[in-house]
Amino acid sequence: MFRPLRSALIVCAALAAASCGGGRERPQTDLAASRITTIGVNSYLWRATLDTLSFMPLLQTDSNGGVVVTDWYVNPQTPTERMKVTVSILDQDLRADALRVAALREVNQGGQWVGAPVAAATTQKLEDVILTRARDLRRASSAIN
């Protein structure tokens, strides 16, 4: 009756003893800090994106897919204009090409929101702010460790 349990315990003990390697320590792996994460994308870019867009209401966040979508945001200083931003983090490495920012802009014309062009400098500036923040977070993390 206890024979299968006893056999299983013996096999487990044998595997555990074999995995010890005779007292040798396991080699340490040198993982880049950007890859040590429980999310699917670079954790510094993720945190920097959330920090940078914290003034806007968030509509959707997917840390595994690396997507942050804001809801429409109206700047109180320009109430006839609103913006919506989508940030995609494309890689686990902290690189400029691992980040893509897209923005939509609408202006209020006679009570109707109408699509309007977004200056290329707007999305480029957002990317720069996010990347700078991510680098700052990485430097701060390295200084602590």
pLDDT per residue over 49-71, tens digit each? 999 999 999 999 998 999 999 99
**Residue predicted with more confidence, 73 or 35:** 73
**Residue predicted with more confidence, 114 or 14:** 114
What pLDDT score was predicted for residue 143?
A: 80
Digit-coded pLDDT (tens) for 19-49 = 444 444 544 443 444 444 467 889 999 999 9
List CB contacts of 87: < 8 A, sequence separation 6 or more.
49, 53, 67, 68, 69, 99, 100, 101, 102, 126, 130
Whole-prediction pTM: 0.71
